[in-house]
Amino acid sequence: MNLRIRSGQLRDVQELAELKEISARRAYAFATPEDLDAWLAARGGTAPLRRRIQDPDGGLIVAVDENGALVGMVVVRVDDGVAHLGDLYCRHDGMGVGSVLYNVAKERARERGVHRIVAHCFRDNIRAQRFFVARGWRIVKSVEPSDRLGTSMLDELELRT
């Protein structure tokens, strides 16, 4: 797949919201439908994406395919010398989009002089756990989630570059 990587733009917001919902419904199949709907109502939609795009430190990065469709997104935000990786969502599994976005986010963090990257991942999201661990991440602690997705715990993962 031929990808173009760029920063998210306000014109992308609706398509990104749809991409996030499609990917979350697939990735968070461990959650009850009611809990997933509540999570999407609180964390989905266009408002959070709009804020990320308008935030100069928001770091919303998108992948666009050869047809101009948005096929992936990731956020990398730097606070106090630590990069926070989040919202890594892809329209399709197994196409390599997540790996490309992950590598770009990691490189952007390095460019800003960051040597520690953290992410949160629902404990029941085994696919995401495997993705990160396969790339050298380690789980450093478990925390109670601020969102209601069943009884899932969040694992904080860390990568030192």
pLDDT of residue 18 exceeding 80: yes
Q: Cα–Cα distance between 36 and 25 in angstroms, integer? A: 7
- The owner of tokens 């749809």 is 18
**pLDDT of res. 159:** 66
Q: Cα–Cα distance between 74 and 7 in angstroms, integer? A: 10
**pLDDT of res. 104:** 94
User: Which domains, and CATH codes, for the chain?
Assistant: 4-160 (3.40.630.30)
Backbone φ and ψ for 145, nearest 5 degrees, come out as -70, 150
Share of the chain above pLDDT 90, in %: 34
- Quick count: other Cβ atoms within 10 Å of Cβ 63? 25
**pLDDT of res. 151:** 43
* Helix orientation angle between 47-54 and 13-27, rounded to the nearest 10 degrees: 120
**pLDDT of res. 89:** 93
pLDDT tens profile 129-151: 888 888 888 888 776 666 656 44
Is 76:66 a contact under the CB 8 Å cutoff? no
Both tokens of 100, joined, read 């490309």
> What is the rounded average pLDDT for all residues in the chain?
85
**pLDDT of res. 69:** 93
State mean pLDDT over 46-64.
88
How far, CA to CA in Å, does 137 sit from each of 24, 43, 62?
Answer: 22, 25, 22
* pTM listed for this prediction: 0.86
State mean pLDDT over 37-61.
86
